[in-house]
């Protein structure tokens, strides 16, 4: 795996630079993104995935996004993190509400 973090840097310093409290942490060969103490996103293989639950899933489905998947014991496993539409990465103002809803989903998950 490459140690190139240019996509992570782009996400933190360009796409999300206007949002307070964002930080990345290396995990499982990728990065987890937090706003303060709320885990709300994954970066894996230069793709951003946001936390999804029943409140925001329809937005991701409508945008043609797909869930983050991985193999475990030969089976495909999906997490509740879905890909971000590429056009949003170049437009931080449009990305902002998606981030907000992902953080809210992360907060709801913490209270379960």
- Tell me the pLDDT of the chain averaged across its residues: 92
Number of domains the chain contains: 1
Any domain includes 50: yes
Confidence at residue 53, expressed as pLDDT on a 0 to 100 scale: 97
CATH label of the domain that carries residue 44: 3.30.1460.30
Any domain includes 89: yes
Tell me the HSE value of 78 on the side-chain side, using a 13 A CA sphere. Answer: 10
Residue 28's domain comprises 6-110
Any domain includes 30: yes
Convert the pLDDT of each residue in 10-31 to its tens digit: 999 999 998 999 999 999 889 9
Question: Cα–Cα distances in Å, from 15 out to 49, 52, 76, 96?
Answer: 13, 19, 30, 9
Name the 3-class secondary structure at 4: coil
Confidence at residue 54, expressed as pLDDT on a 0 to 100 scale: 96
Any domain includes 69: yes
Which stretch of 3-7, 12-16, 50-54 has the lowest confidence by average pLDDT? Answer: 3-7
When pLDDT is cut at 50, 70 and 90, the band that residue 2 belongs to is: very low
Q: What is the mean pLDDT of residues 78-100?
A: 93
Confidence at residue 50, expressed as pLDDT on a 0 to 100 scale: 98
Q: Is the pTM of this model over 0.75?
A: yes
Any domain includes 1: no
Convert the pLDDT of each residue in 56-66 to its tens digit: 999 999 999 99
């Amino acid at each position: 795996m490459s140690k190139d973090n240019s996509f992570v840097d782009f996400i933190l310093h360009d796409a999300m630079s206007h949002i307070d409290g964002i930080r990345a942490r290396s995990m499982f060969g990728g990065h987890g993104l937090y706003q303060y103490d709320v885990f709300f996103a994954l970066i894996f293989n230069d793709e951003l995935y946001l936390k999804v639950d029943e409140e925001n899933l329809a937005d991701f489905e409508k945008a043609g996004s797909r869930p983050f998947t991985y193999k475990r014991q030969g089976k495909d496993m999906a997490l509740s993190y879905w890909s971000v539409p590429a056009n949003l990465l170049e437009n931080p103002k449009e990305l902002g509400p998606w981030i907000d809803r992902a953080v809210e989903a992360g907060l709801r998950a913490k209270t379960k």
